[in-house]
Structure 1
Amino acid sequence: MIKYLITILLFASNAHTVFSQKLTINGTVRDAANGELLVGATVQDSISQTVVQTNAYGFFSLEIPASRSSIKISFVGYTPQYIQDFTKHKFPLDIKLIPANFLKELTVKEVKNKEAPVGSLSIPMNKLKLMPALLGEVDVLKALSFTPGVSTGTEGSAGLYIRGGTPDQNLILLDEVPVYNVTHLGGFFSVFNPSSLKSVDLYKGAFPARYGGRLASVIDLAMKDGNNQKFGGEVGIGILNQNLALEGPIVKNKASFIVSGRVSTLGLSSLLRPKKSSGYGESRKYRFYDLNAKLNYQISKTDQIYLSLYNGFDRFMYSEWSANDGRETETSVGNNWGNTTATLRYSKIFSQRLFARFILLYSKYTSELTNSFEDNNPNTEHIRLYRNTNAGVADLGGKVQFDYFLSNRTNLKFGLDATRHSFSPFITKSNYSSPHDDTGKLKFPATQLDFYADASINITHNLRFNPGIRYSLYHVNNRTFSNPEPRLGLNWSLPANWSIKGGYAIMNQYVHLLTNNGFGFGYDAWVPSTDKVTPSRSSQLSIGLYKNLPQLGLDLSLEGYIKRMKNLIDYPDGTNFSGLLAASWDDIVIKNGVGRVKGIEVMLSRKSGRFNGWVSYTLSKSERKFSEINGAWWFPMKYDRRHLLAATANYGIGRKWTLSASFIYQTGHAVTLPEAAFITENSNGPRFIYDKRNNGRMPAFHRLDIGASKSVVTPRKRNAQLRLGVYNAYNRNNPLYLDIKTERNRDFVPTGITFKQVSFFPILPYIGYTLKF
């Protein structure tokens, strides 16, 4: 079918060229200094003033009135290039833009992307690296938390709650492949190394039809291709980790590579108390690593191949030991988790109008909880008890995607995605009570097939229409779910630099995340929809009003949205998904919940000039309802943040120094508090009485971070950057959780209950150093 479709499209594109007096030109746009493909570069015709942009692979197609037309190719931070007289050129064009003078980089005007759908944004990587961060660790997900409609969980968490959704409702892609767990150190920062990233795009409203499988958002990250001109790299030294990135040509102008890695500094420092011949002690061990690699080879001007790899893992172990008269006992509990992804892509320019890519992908996530007890008694037999519980998911799939540029007014995107999932939740091996080993248990396979078609139609010069459809099939346990997902986008440019955007999208989610409410940094399990737990579904309507103020270099946006969700799941109070379960997980969870979310988002940004940054404010409300919770009445979602205010700013001083600051304020998240408690004289603790779910609020969360970076040239003429700063500058005691204490009199008789706020991060200075070579 696809073969015949390609043949028809090729014939149509050739016929259009023969019978038209116009000329269609195409090509790719690259950075002349390192060969990186430039995504979102603009190509403008001098006669018709028509503008198109390069796609995710740097490709463009433009129809011009005649061969004597001239075009302008431009990109932020680069010197524009002009091309005339196309009779002397062969297609596709290979255009290389020269970076603008580094000293003038902050004053280059940025062209606003009017084609971006409502509810989407991109953060330039150079701006990201200037933001203050936890202990100097720049993090792409934390940067997104300073934008409208995006909030975090507790202090230090890298999990994102976007427009009333939960972290598992975010589709996070790294070079086209989904990443299931995106946090290190229990959520303090993400697994994405900024040294390896080229771009990050967030979609939270009008989702393009090529994305699906989650309810709340899409975060699409692209890795750098690697410098195909010269060898280089950078090494960074920080408080939490050390990182190294290397890139260079394999064949100059043809093939290149990039390799980057991080290891935890905490793993190099000792958190151990040495064991003694007698007494008691404890130890905590934590370490992590990341490894990114990418190879690409330009076979010809029309063919290119890419191979992307990622592997990262976290290990945490807590142990208590005691020793007395030669007898040693040790109790340990551990938590290990990590991801492995791989993507093989082949891009092909079939004609001046048709661009395609063929993708093979692999993704694996593993989470493990370990418990062990050892008794080493010289007078008796050595005893070792253990229980290891694993949860994981592995995906193997492929994608076929086409971009067809029918004309300057109409672009089509269509394709097919196929994925084979393999779920393995709660596989346990233990000898605690009796030998137990279900590692041979059958895994839960599931197959997903998605078709999509997306169009961008310029009805007039100022009005663009984006209809789309995605149709998904999901087969699991002899049952098939099929769901259409219509998508709609509208962009209307008005006089005086005003514009209106709107969007409507339906999304389905066929996977669910079960998290451990007890111990554990990252212990969780991904499980498929079943005949008992049906797929979740959302519908969202968004509208936005935008104003560009070119004289001041400002952009103003106002967006509103309404979202409805159904077939949500929740947990009965006290549920713990670690170890052996008394029943199947889909019998334990509470099902068929519904959700409603609404919000207004405002953002004022300045992306150019010596002083730049943005301010955002979000007013929102997110609620849930289950027949078995709260008497079937609506209750606030745990991380419902009614008010969210964030600001970030950078200011360049001279040629070397840049000052930066970030501030964030969030309404305290919802928490379930007891209405009363029974306390008896002989009880070990209170017996709480609960009435309503999430009936209280934690104190408000707010924090100021400040930082400074200095550009340095070493004696060997190498560029370096020194970063200094303070996290939580005014030492705010932000709440992590509430600790419940029982008050007693001198006779140890209970007299009352108190709630104490527990905080984790005080004011923390940081320093970091990055050397480029």
Structure 2
Amino acid sequence: MTKYLLMVIFVVITHATFSQRMTISGIVRDATNGELLAGAIVQDSLSQTGVPTNAYGFFSLEIPAGDHPLKISFVGYESLYINGVAKHKSPLQIKLVQANLLKEVTIKEIKNTDVLIGSLSIPMNKLKSMPALLGEVDVLKALSFTPGVSTGVEGSAGLYIRGGTPDQNLILLDEAPVYNVTHLGGFLSVFNPSSLKSVDLYKGAYPARYGGRLASVIDLTMKDGNNQKFGGEVGIGILNQNLTLEGPIIKNKASFIVSGRVSTLGLSFLLQPKKSSGYGETRKYRFHDLNAKFNYQINKTDQIFLSVYNGFDRFTYGEWTANDGRETETAVSNNWGNTTATLRYSKVFSQKLFARFAMLYSKYTSELANNFDDTNENIEPVRLYRNTNAGVTDLGGKVQFDYFLNNRINLKFGIDLTRHLFSPFVTKSNYNNSPDDAKKERLPATQVDFYVDGSIAIVPALRFNPGLRYSLYHVENRTFSNPEPRLGLNWSLPANWTIKSGYTLMNQYVHLLTNNGFGFGYDAWVPSTEKVRPSRSSQLSVGLSKTFPQLGLDLSIEGYTKKMKNLIDYPDGTNFTGLLAGSWDDIVIKKGMGRVKGIELMLNKKAGHFNGWISYTLSKSERKFSEINNAAWYPMKYDRRHHLAITVNYDIGKKWTLSASFIYQTGHAVTLPEAAFITDNSNGPRFIYDKRNNGRMPAFHRLDIGASKSLTTPHKRNAELRLGLYNAYNRNNPLYLDMKTDRNQDFVPTGITLKQISFFPILPYVGYTLRF
């Protein structure tokens, strides 16, 4: 008996000895510039157990006690091995060296089974190599070449993601919301690629730390700034010029980056000089962006980040008349812009607990101004004006903890608090009997969100991502409260197959009122009220993916179905310019429903001299309102049944890179008249409409080609020359339809003709960037 007891004790002691484990934590950075690397894989080389770094480059890995060498890898970087990790003091400070571009062919990406369905990230180097409108690289337009993402009319920067509208996309810049993301009336987004480090899109199983929108989350992170050496770049293009400067404030500890761009187009070709007599028009346009970020590493566990963005557009249309020195002028202007600021503090509390604290500020302003001279023959002209402003200001705070229980279980939990101040349609005017509510109090609203995100590996091949977000939204005398469950599943199968699925429920407490007239950029954000309830969506998605390591290919297919309710729309002819007959929540059509379903495919080649992707989406998006279309379902305006996009890059030697992008999408829905009354004495036809969105525009398709050459200046500086063609085969893609009345020689109406109006022909571009 004693012998057996001793054997049992020996087995227990032996098991305890060999099962002793230790936790290693650290932060992974780029060795060249000190940038934090999110998504790097840290592995135990013996057991092949690994974990990814979080958004701040932090990881926590539990390994058996003893000398287990670590392997740290990241796509585009040389793998690093660390021996004797037990002897190093945590948190480890790990720096990876960028791999030689010629070696990218042999780099094998570590498969991260924790990537959620419906999420993707586009590397910035791939984005910058894509051909673009007049050579201006655009983050949001690049996303429109991925599955489930389409655009509106040509040139528009608004994204329609899985049947949603642009205002249903939550767009974050260093965690601060950006409410308007367009320059030049939608031709360009406000995000300067030179200032960005990463772009992440979530359109399926949203993590619970995100909320407040129905369609998607686009999370953009600014560069931290080079903490090793001073440098920058100057870019010269057709639409804008940009300058980026970055460098260390204290080497290895503090750095900065400042990036700005200003418009160079100016619409100067539309200007007409004023004369001493006659009539003329003027159009003036300009915009600017300014990004700045500072960070300071206090010690190995504490770091502070400060990010600031400001951007503004100014567009003015004027008419003038002059007669013998007597001059009068009329002007209409649209001005809009954003300002955001984020102050963050990150801290490693222990080997298993990481935290970040943030204070956020975001302000969006939209202005519409009318100015004209009221003339009388006997007196000097009197300057009259009417200025209408709309905007929203957010001030908030966030606290989030990342707790790494072990390699199979980690949690993210926190709280978000936001104070909104809405200013819808505040008008100041000296017109007779016109409203002047410039001192009108802003409408406040308070939002509090609690959330917990989990990542749980039941077995190494099966991982669940459960989450719960609970939101409270208080406006006026009403409080809305909603739980939002989330669930993601990743199941790795043999032969590099993976099954993914996800379910999410989202609520949106803000609504966007857009000007249906000819305003260039005037709109207003308003909160939910007693009359207009929060919008809600639920989405279920299932997907299958496969990796072909030898070919460097990833193949994925996803199917989804989504239902929405409490949507709003506008009666025909509604024009939100501040002079409303009643409150906006009495005017809009309420309680709309939406249903969306689709299938998305993507084939992606990430490495090698020849790389790129092909994406295809088959989808259907419909809306239903009791007061529209006889309460029958009708297609959403930007319902694109088919969407095909191809992007390819080919490196020729070390200097030249050729690129091409092709896109095809079904024409968007339009409402066409069923009939028209035409009389001899009428100025135009009187159209009769029956069904909403009963017609389709012609299909949209376009080919863009480009080439870039790496140069070395006489002063040994690196430079890049970019050449290309936008709309290479000169496709006349429709912008809108114009209806004209046909008349005979006697000016008698004979019929109606639909004419397609197009805007962008074939456009060559050239750009130059100097890096120093």
**TM-score when normalising by structure 2:** 0.97
Asked if 1 retains the 8 angstrom alpha-carbon contact of 2:267 and 2:284, the reply is no
Asked if 2 retains the 8 angstrom alpha-carbon contact of 1:601 and 1:619, the reply is yes
Residue of structure 2 in register with 1:4 after alignment? none
Residue 608 of structure 2 corresponds to residue 609 of structure 1: yes
Residue of structure 2 in register with 1:488 after alignment? 487
Residue of structure 1 in register with 2:554 after alignment? 555
The verdict on how the C-alpha distance between 1:748 and 1:268 changes in structure 2, with shifts beyond 3 A counting, is closer
The verdict on how the C-alpha distance between 1:219 and 1:18 changes in structure 2, with shifts beyond 3 A counting, is farther
Counterparts of residues 356-435 of structure 1 (less than 5 Å): 356-375=355-374, 379-435=378-434
| CA-to-aligned-CA distance 1:492-520 (integer Å, 9 cap, x gap) | 00001101000000000000000000021
User: 2: CA distance between counterparts of 1:226 and 1:491?
Assistant: 35
Q: For 2:427, give the aligned amino acid.
A: T
Residue of structure 1 in register with 2:512 after alignment? 513
How far off its partner does 1:629 sit?
A: 0.3
Structure 2 residue runs without a partner (length 5+): 1-15
Structure 1 residue runs without a partner (length 5+): 1-16
User: 1: CA distance between counterparts of 2:591 and 2:369?
Assistant: 33
User: 2: CA distance between counterparts of 1:128 and 1:215?
Assistant: 26
User: 1: CA distance between counterparts of 2:331 and 2:663?
Assistant: 38
User: 1: CA distance between counterparts of 2:598 and 2:153?
Assistant: 21
Secondary structure at 2:86 match in 1:
helix
How far off its partner does 1:110 sit?
A: 3.1
User: 1: CA distance between counterparts of 2:766 and 2:85?
Assistant: 53
How far off its partner does 1:268 sit?
A: 8.6
How far off its partner does 1:67 sit?
A: 3.1
Asked if 2 retains the 8 angstrom alpha-carbon contact of 1:333 and 1:369, the reply is yes
User: 2: CA distance between counterparts of 1:608 and 1:409?
Assistant: 30
| CA-to-aligned-CA distance 1:574-612 (integer Å, 9 cap, x gap) | 100013110000000000000000000000010011100
User: 2: CA distance between counterparts of 1:547 and 1:108?
Assistant: 18
The verdict on how the C-alpha distance between 1:716 and 1:18 changes in structure 2, with shifts beyond 3 A counting, is farther
The verdict on how the C-alpha distance between 1:19 and 1:171 changes in structure 2, with shifts beyond 3 A counting, is farther
User: 2: CA distance between counterparts of 1:497 and 1:758?
Assistant: 49
User: 2: CA distance between counterparts of 1:619 and 1:110?
Assistant: 29
Asked if 2 retains the 8 angstrom alpha-carbon contact of 1:712 and 1:721, the reply is yes
Q: For 2:660, give the aligned amino acid.
A: A
Asked if 1 retains the 8 angstrom alpha-carbon contact of 2:511 and 2:526, the reply is yes
How far off its partner does 1:102 sit?
A: 4.1
How far off its partner does 1:682 sit?
A: 1.2
Secondary structure at 2:134 match in 1:
helix
Asked if 1 retains the 8 angstrom alpha-carbon contact of 2:18 and 2:64, the reply is no
Counterparts of residues 12-31 of structure 1 (less than 5 Å): 21-31=20-30
User: 2: CA distance between counterparts of 1:18 and 1:297?
Assistant: 42
The verdict on how the C-alpha distance between 1:510 and 1:708 changes in structure 2, with shifts beyond 3 A counting, is same
Q: For 1:642, give the aligned amino acid.
A: R
How far off its partner does 1:115 sit?
A: 1.6
The verdict on how the C-alpha distance between 1:95 and 1:750 changes in structure 2, with shifts beyond 3 A counting, is same
Secondary structure at 2:638 match in 1:
coil
How far off its partner does 1:88 sit?
A: 2.1
Bigger mean CA deviation after superposition, 533-542 or 328-337: 328-337
Residue of structure 2 in register with 1:565 after alignment? 564
How far off its partner does 1:379 sit?
A: 4.1
How far off its partner does 1:382 sit?
A: 2.0
Residue of structure 2 in register with 1:761 after alignment? 760
Bigger mean CA deviation after superposition, 712-721 or 355-364: 712-721
User: 2: CA distance between counterparts of 1:507 and 1:647?
Assistant: 31
Counterparts of residues 97-246 of structure 1 (less than 5 Å): 97-105=96-104, 108-246=107-245
Counterparts of residues 494-643 of structure 1 (less than 5 Å): 494-643=493-642
Counterparts of residues 672-751 of structure 1 (less than 5 Å): 672-751=671-750
Asked if 2 retains the 8 angstrom alpha-carbon contact of 1:571 and 1:590, the reply is yes
Counterparts of residues 642-681 of structure 1 (less than 5 Å): 642-681=641-680
How far off its partner does 1:332 sit?
A: 1.2
User: 1: CA distance between counterparts of 2:668 and 2:200?
Assistant: 27
RMSD (CA atoms): 1.4
Residue of structure 1 in register with 2:307 after alignment? 308
Residue of structure 2 in register with 1:5 after alignment? none
Secondary structure at 2:97 match in 1:
strand
Bigger mean CA deviation after superposition, 737-746 or 386-395: 737-746
Asked if 2 retains the 8 angstrom alpha-carbon contact of 1:213 and 1:509, the reply is yes
User: 1: CA distance between counterparts of 2:100 and 2:546?
Assistant: 29
How far off its partner does 1:324 sit?
A: 2.0
Asked if 2 retains the 8 angstrom alpha-carbon contact of 1:327 and 1:377, the reply is no
Asked if 2 retains the 8 angstrom alpha-carbon contact of 1:107 and 1:610, the reply is no
Secondary structure at 1:381 match in 2:
strand
Bigger mean CA deviation after superposition, 93-102 or 746-755: 746-755
How far off its partner does 1:461 sit?
A: 1.3
Secondary structure at 1:442 match in 2:
coil
User: 1: CA distance between counterparts of 2:386 and 2:337?
Assistant: 20
Asked if 2 retains the 8 angstrom alpha-carbon contact of 1:328 and 1:377, the reply is no
User: 2: CA distance between counterparts of 1:55 and 1:141?
Assistant: 24
Asked if 1 retains the 8 angstrom alpha-carbon contact of 2:268 and 2:284, the reply is no
How far off its partner does 1:78 sit?
A: 1.3
| CA-to-aligned-CA distance 1:370-427 (integer Å, 9 cap, x gap) | 1111256784132212111110000000000010000000000000000000000011
User: 2: CA distance between counterparts of 1:358 and 1:20?
Assistant: 36
User: 1: CA distance between counterparts of 2:19 and 2:224?
Assistant: 37
User: 2: CA distance between counterparts of 1:432 and 1:630?
Assistant: 39
Bigger mean CA deviation after superposition, 21-30 or 317-326: 317-326
User: 2: CA distance between counterparts of 1:87 and 1:308?
Assistant: 36
Q: For 1:667, give the aligned amino acid.
A: T
How far off its partner does 1:21 sit?
A: 1.8
Asked if 2 retains the 8 angstrom alpha-carbon contact of 1:330 and 1:375, the reply is no
User: 1: CA distance between counterparts of 2:102 and 2:466?
Assistant: 43
Residue of structure 2 in register with 1:247 after alignment? 246
Counterparts of residues 75-86 of structure 1 (less than 5 Å): 75-86=74-85
Asked if 2 retains the 8 angstrom alpha-carbon contact of 1:490 and 1:503, the reply is yes
Secondary structure at 1:436 match in 2:
coil
| CA-to-aligned-CA distance 1:515-540 (integer Å, 9 cap, x gap) | 00002121100000000000000000
Asked if 2 retains the 8 angstrom alpha-carbon contact of 1:320 and 1:331, the reply is yes
User: 1: CA distance between counterparts of 2:308 and 2:755?
Assistant: 45
User: 2: CA distance between counterparts of 1:19 and 1:221?
Assistant: 44
Asked if 2 retains the 8 angstrom alpha-carbon contact of 1:328 and 1:375, the reply is no
Q: For 1:145, give the aligned amino acid.
A: S
Residue of structure 2 in register with 1:260 after alignment? 259
User: 1: CA distance between counterparts of 2:372 and 2:740?
Assistant: 30
User: 1: CA distance between counterparts of 2:702 and 2:145?
Assistant: 12
User: 2: CA distance between counterparts of 1:575 and 1:526?
Assistant: 16
Asked if 1 retains the 8 angstrom alpha-carbon contact of 2:37 and 2:57, the reply is yes
The verdict on how the C-alpha distance between 1:328 and 1:18 changes in structure 2, with shifts beyond 3 A counting, is farther
Q: For 2:389, give the aligned amino acid.
A: N
Secondary structure at 2:226 match in 1:
coil
Residue of structure 1 in register with 2:4 after alignment? none
How far off its partner does 1:276 sit?
A: 0.5
Asked if 2 retains the 8 angstrom alpha-carbon contact of 1:328 and 1:376, the reply is no
How far off its partner does 1:46 sit?
A: 1.6
User: 2: CA distance between counterparts of 1:606 and 1:159?
Assistant: 27
**TM-score when normalising by structure 1:** 0.96
How far off its partner does 1:98 sit?
A: 1.3
Residue of structure 1 in register with 2:50 after alignment? 51
User: 2: CA distance between counterparts of 1:687 and 1:581?
Assistant: 25
Bigger mean CA deviation after superposition, 416-425 or 69-78: 69-78
| CA-to-aligned-CA distance 1:416-468 (integer Å, 9 cap, x gap) | 00000000001111123335310111211000000000110000110001111
